[in-house]
Amino acid sequence: MNSIIPIIKELERIYDVLSNHFNLKYERPIITIQTKGSQRTTLGWYCDKKWFNGKKEIAEINICAEEIKKNPIETLIHEMVHYSNSCEEKEDCSVHQYHNKIFRDLAENYGLNVKKMEEVDGD
């Protein structure tokens, strides 16, 4: 039987471990796996209030299907930073999706190595 359920369950387990490690007080968002489609540089995303459960809106963290075999944990942590900042009502990206100092500071606290990306030839 082919199913992504075991992968999602493992991502949820890892999220819970990391959430405890980073002492997060927020409810786990829904974790999904979807294709990145035409967004060739996208590894994952965080989306606030994507799901609805009765009277409650629930956030989503997605790991792109194309990235599952690469480094999904780093992407999960990256999206957890966005989620944490959102829960604290801190804007960590510009309108053009450039990450700012708020993102960098929390991401580094979560153990991510944050650096400016160089321009890619042809873009």
Closest CA to 24 of 95, 100, 79: 79
Q: What global pTM score does this model have?
A: 0.87
> Residue 31 is part of a domain; what is its CATH number?
3.30.2010
- Please list the pLDDT of the chain residue by residue as tens digits (123 residues): 789 999 999 999 999 999 999 998 899 999 999 998 888 888 999 998 888 988 889 999 999 999 899 989 999 999 999 999 999 999 998 877 789 899 999 999 999 988 776 544 444
Q: Please report which helix (H) or strand (E) contains residue 6, including its range.
A: helix 5-21
Structural domain span for residue 76: 5-109
Q: Which two tokens stand for residue 36?
A: 């990145």
- Does some domain include residue 114? no
